[in-house]
Amino acid sequence: MFNKIKQFKELRDQATEMKKMLAQETVHADAAHGKINVVMDGNMEILSVEINPELLSVEKKENLESAVRDSVNEAVKKAQRVMAQKIQSMGGLNMPGLS
């Protein structure tokens, strides 16, 4: 029983370390020919969104929504790749009982 508790603590410590490492990574994604820019950290938290004023009109509402969606989705994909690389560089996840 104590061995399992120790393994879970080690797993939690690994996850905490990974989260700290990923917070230091950033990815940039854009859409609408660079008129929408999103910056996201490795934990998939959006750090900033920049929108070109040219897209800020009622007539372009659908284009703006689509471009924001596209850039956020691209940033998520990039952040997931960074996360996978970091996990791999740390030797993978050592999850007791799952190997």
Q: What does the pLDDT look like over 42-51, one tens digit per residue?
A: 888 999 999 9
Provide the pLDDT for residue 50: 94
| 42 CB neighbour count, 10 Å cutoff | 23
pLDDT band at 96 (very low <50, low <70, confident <90, very high): low
Correct CATH for 2-89 of 3.30.1310.10, 3.40.50.720, 2.60.40.1220, 2.70.180.20: 3.30.1310.10
Pair of tokens at residue 94 = 């050592």
Average pLDDT over residues 52-74: 91
The answer, as to whether pTM is greater than 0.85, is no
Which residue ranges make up each domain of the chain?
A: 2-89
Nearest to 25 by CA among 82, 87, 90: 82
